[in-house]
Chain A
């Protein structure tokens, strides 16, 4: 079934069509909200809200747009809204736990674990910009619109976030790690 037909059926409340859309896009939706909000439970709530909002608005979805891009944007907005509402700036400056190896490694999974853990410890605003720019590929113009800041502020936050990540990942990422990342 084509994605367009699937969306039409999902807009009519077809359970299998909705489930199929969910199976296709849930991992990317969950990934972006998890990385922005930095917490599993809040990310799950946030992803669910994103799905509910997306399905509510499905009848207005432009048929020439890509559903994946559309729900991704809804999820990002939902995650940013949730953080604004919560107004929490939890202290994420604590050091990385000791239970992971600090030695440089070429294994992707370990590197991903380290990066995920470090991301959770980057201050909230910096993390939002870092995730949107370096992970999700948004431009500074787009990030500025999402966060209601200037593109210059977005850039400044990004540079600080990269520096903070570098500190947190010190010893994990070296020039030797590049081969592992590209593998």
Chain B
């Protein structure tokens, strides 16, 4: 018996057979099985998954996009013109700082300190091509939505930036001033910023116990600092 040709079988994957071809398929198990296999192959091809680009693909693409002028440079991204965003950044920093405070290696001789610094200095998140300013600016869009994964990645990245900045600041303060600055007015100004941020956060989530606790503590700290400044001025005045 002559079998159906390979081209005919390939055609019958998505076309109806003629009467003659149907008759042959009814009689010939080999052609029937071959056609079934071709249909399975077609199905498998249509189910092939997307493929992730090779690792580092974005890192190679990004500079090309900047060279082509297709990506804005992060500088002058408008962060300064958004006071509430500064406040949001501030609250993010303090929330992060609360968590970091428990393990931050302020004592250089403390075992494990070097390891923490090394980890923090090599951010590898998917947002690694962005700067803090550009990400915060983009997030200022009212309808900006992050996936859970993106949000988690962002928190990790900002934690790393925060830690790196803090470590850098401490290094410079120690070298240039010999100790960390304790200016009460500077501290009061910083607390004012954080107060505004924590108030904004509580307005967003009025029932959140952590944010409320943060606001109460912030308020108490601000009042204590203010009393200290007033007392200092009173002493100086006389």
Contacts and interface: CB of A to CB of B under 8 A. Distances in A.
Given A13-B71, A26-B57, A159 B48 contact: no
A163 B7 contact: yes
B205 interface: no
A51 B6 CA distance: 39
Interface residues of B, number: 53
Interface stretch (B35-43, B87-95, B108-116, B159-167): B35-43
Contact of B44 (A130, A158, A160, A173): A173
A2 to B, nearest CB: 7
Given A5-B141, A16-B135, A26-B53, A52 B45 contact: no
Contact of A13 (B36, B39, B61, B72): B72
Q: Is the interface of A mostly helix, strand, loop or mixed?
A: helix
A149 interface: no
B10 interface: yes
Contacts of B138: 9, 14-17
A1 interface: yes
A9 B137 CA distance: 12
Interface residues of A, number: 56
B141 to A, nearest CB: 6
Interface string A14-36: 11111100110011111100110
Contacts of B42: 134, 162
A147 interface: no
Given A27-B50, A31-B49, A135-B46, A16 B40 contact: no
A166 B54 contact: no
Contacts of B47: 108, 181
B142 to A, nearest CB: 9
A135 B48 contact: yes
Given A15-B134, A175-B37, A181-B40, A112 B49 contact: yes
A1 B144 contact: yes
A15 B44 contact: no
Contacts of A156: 7
Interface stretch (A40-48, A80-88, A94-102): A40-48
Given A27-B51, A55-B70, A112-B44, 8 more contacts: A1-B145, A27-B52, A52-B68, A115-B44, A166-B10, A166-B37, A166-B38, A174-B37
Interface of A: 1-2, 5, 9, 12-19, 22-23, 26-31, 34-35, 40, 44, 47-48, 51-52, 55-56, 108, 111-112, 115-116, 130, 134-135, 137, 155-156, 158-160, 162-163, 165-166, 169, 173-175, 177-178, 181-182
Interface of B: 6-7, 9-11, 13, 33-34, 36-54, 57-58, 60-62, 64-65, 68-72, 74, 126-127, 129-130, 134-135, 137-139, 141, 143-145
29 contacts: A1-B143, A1-B145, A9-B138, A12-B72, A13-B70, A13-B72, A15-B134, A18-B65, A19-B129, A27-B51, A27-B52, A30-B57, A40-B54, A44-B60, A47-B53, A51-B61, A55-B68, A55-B70, A111-B44, A115-B41, A134-B45, A134-B46, A135-B45, A173-B37, A173-B44, A175-B37, A177-B44, A178-B36, A181-B44
